[in-house]
Amino acid sequence: MAEDHPFAQYVRLLGRGRKKSRSLTEDEAYAAQSMILRGEVEPLQLGAFLMLLRVKEETPEEVAGFVRAVRDSLILPDPMPSVDLDWSTYAGKRRQLPWFILSALLLAQNGVRIFMQGTEGHTPGRVYTRETLESLGVPTANNFDEVASHLAARNFAYLPLQEMCPMLHEIIEYRPLLGLRSPAHTVGRMINPLRAPYLLQGIFHVGYMSTHQEAARLMGEPHMAVFRGEGGEIERNPSKPVKVQTVHDGVLGEETWPAILDDPRHPTDQEMDIGRLGAIWRGEQVDEYATAAITGTMALALKIMGRADAQEQALAMARGMWDARPTELPGAA
């Protein structure tokens, strides 16, 4: 009789039925993810593992173990470039343009060193970060050496997940095959490879907010904030109040920000023309929703970073930065 494959134990733990199955410990999750990243798992096992996790939903301990394994697999520069804020982008936009990109670039122009990483193209019909940045003249990094160069040039760098962790990117690309998202989306958002002291998280499903918050605490993230972002990105919907869950030096917190706009309706952009971002930036077009989304998102970042003590102060600072923005597009070095 053939012996069980070494990875079979982790599938077994998750799939033994309602009474005998259980979630993985953080160390078990670390070991399982490490095997996956090393290519030591059969495709059938990986599909079963991912979908068993999807059915039960990943725990904070599992997320922490998975993320630790990914971090340990990365080849990082020495010394690592210094960054202030880690900004992940994994969803893509379909109802509104990615206004958060202008938020990040304007923060960078005001001295916040931002590392952005994520994926693109996994869901048809969405606008993704790489194409938007390229339309603004912002280059995409191909490795961490280029990340360091881009940070030095403009306080901002974007590195696609496929360049940073190809196996995790491959798992995300399984979505059309499996028909469901996998824990890879949660794990990718939490990597923070350059160990920025401040971590922003935007998610779509509110049930995952506590998972992100507790996983960040388990991993010892100094400062993290997670909220339900527009379309699942780190972008505030200014038409609605937003609940933000935080971790500051191991202490969990929560606050609610009021809506910025009086109109509670969530508009849909039928054209999704990314050329509008440049037009809004240059003042050639005026869009109340876009401006509120840009400055509202900046305000969340400014407050988590301690650059503002109160919500009103953070929003006023963001609006001041927007009003004083330079005329050139954000991509200019």
Tens digit of each residue's pLDDT (9 = 90 or more) over 112-165: 999 999 998 767 778 999 999 999 999 999 999 999 999 999 999 999 999 999
Strands of the sheet with 156-160, listed across from one edge: 156-160, 114-118, 85-89, 198-203, 223-228, 242-248, 251-257
CATH assignment of the domain containing 166 = 3.40.1030.10
What is the tally of structural domains in the chain? Answer: 2
Instruction: Count H helices and E strands in the chain, helices first.
Output: 15, 7
Query: Both 64 and 201 in a single domain?
Result: no
Q: Stretch 47-75: mean pLDDT, rounded?
A: 96
Query: Both 142 and 196 in a single domain?
Result: yes
pLDDT reported for residue 309: 96
State the pLDDT confidence band at 72, using cuts at 50, 70 and 90. very high
Residue 331 has pLDDT above 70, yes or no: no
pLDDT reported for residue 124: 72
Residue 314 has pLDDT above 80, yes or no: yes
Residue 328 has pLDDT above 70, yes or no: yes
Query: Both 253 and 308 in a single domain?
Result: yes
Distance CA 236, CA 292 (A): 8
**Are residues 317 and 96 in contact, defined by beta-carbon separation less than 8 angstroms?**
no
pLDDT, tens digit, 9 for 90 and up, residues 84-126? 999 999 999 999 999 999 999 999 999 999 999 999 876 777 8
**Are residues 292 and 261 in contact, defined by beta-carbon separation less than 8 angstroms?**
yes
pLDDT, tens digit, 9 for 90 and up, residues 250-273? 999 999 999 999 988 878 988 999
Residue 2 has pLDDT above 80, yes or no: no
**Are residues 100 and 242 in contact, defined by beta-carbon separation less than 8 angstroms?**
no
Distance CA 85, CA 98 (A): 18
The residue that leads in pLDDT, 99 or 179, is 99
State the pLDDT confidence band at 170, using cuts at 50, 70 and 90. very high
Q: What is the pTM of this model?
A: 0.95
Chosen domain end from 19, 38, 73: 73
CATH assignment of the domain containing 33 = 1.20.970.10
Domain limits for position 233: 85-323
State both tokens at 160: 């696609």
Cβ-count burial 7-18 (b if 16+ within 10 Å, e if not): beebbebbeeee
Q: DSSP state, 305?
A: T
Distance CA 35, CA 294 (A): 41
Q: Stretch 204-215: mean pLDDT, rounded?
A: 94
Query: Both 64 and 145 in a single domain?
Result: no
pLDDT reported for residue 1: 60
Query: Both 60 and 118 in a single domain?
Result: no
The secondary structure of 257-283, three-state, reads ECCCCCCCCCCCCCCCCCHHHHHHHHC
pLDDT reported for residue 265: 81
Query: Both 179 and 251 in a single domain?
Result: yes
State the pLDDT confidence band at 63, using cuts at 50, 70 and 90. very high
Query: Both 228 and 175 in a single domain?
Result: yes
